[in-house]
Amino acid sequence: MFKGKKLKLDISFDNVLQTFEIKKEEEFSDVDKIEITLKMLVTNYSKLKNLTIIEKGELLTKIYNNFIIGESKNTDRKDPRVVDFKQDANYIYASFLSCYGIDLYDVRGILHWKKFVSLFQGLTNDTKIKEIMEIRGRKLPKPTKYNQEEIQNLRELKAYYAIGGLEENYQDGLGELFNSLERMASK
C-alpha cells in the first residue's frame, strides 16, 4: 500500500537484477531511472499516474528498503569483497545448478528475489563460487620457515581469482549477474 493505492510488485530475481542495471545507466536522468524502475517493479503502474516524482522516489525507496535490500544489509562491513556478480556469473550459475539443480535462466520471472539471495547465501561449501569466496576472504598466514609454499600458493590463488575493475556495491554486482546469465543462455 502506498498513498492509499494497493500496488502489485514483481520482485523476481531477474527483474530486480535489471533494475540494478538501470541505476547504473548514465544515459538516463534520475527521473527516468525512477520511472523506468517503477514500471519494472510495479505491475499495475497505471495506479501511479497522479503521483509526483518526489512521491514516486519515496515509493521506490520504500520498495527497495522493504522488499529488496531489507534490514539485513550491513553497510559498515570492513571485510574484503569476496564476490563480484559480473565476474563470477559463470561460477554462480554453475553453483546453483550443481547445488540445487536450479537453472537460473529457467526460473527467470519465477524465483523471488529474497529466495534467490537466500539460496545464494546457503550454497554449500563444495560449490565453486563458495570456494572462490573463501580464497578471496582468507588471510595470509604469518610467515614462518615452514609455510612459505602455502603462502605462495594462496597468493597465486588470490591473484587468479582477484576481483578486477571498479569497485561495485552488492546490488550493482547483482545486476551484472543477470546480464551474464542472459549472454550464457543465448549461446
Distance in angstroms between the alpha carbons of the first and the last residue of the chain: 41
Considering only the C-alpha atoms of the chain, give the largest distance between any 2 of them, rounded to a whole number of Å: 72
Mean pLDDT, rounded, of the chain: 85
Q: Nearest CA to 38 among 25, 53, 24?
A: 53
- What are the helix and strand counts (H, E) for the chain? 8, 0
What are the start-end ranges of the H helices in 122-169? 128-137, 148-160
The whole-angstrom separation of Cα 35 and Cα 51 is 11
| Phi and psi, residue 180, nearest 5° | -65, -40
Q: Check whether 35 has a pLDDT greater than 90.
A: yes
Q: Taking a C-beta distance cutoff of 8 angstroms, is the pair 113, 11 a contact? A: yes
**Which tens digit of pLDDT belongs to each residue from 59-88?**
999 999 999 987 544 555 566 789 887 788
Helix (H, G, I), strand (E, B) or coil at 12: strand
Has residue 174 got a pLDDT over 60? no
* Res 73: pLDDT: 47
Q: Has residue 45 got a pLDDT over 70?
A: yes
Q: Is 152 helix (H, G, I), strand (E, B) or coil?
A: helix
What is residue 171's predicted lDDT score, i.e. its pLDDT? 44
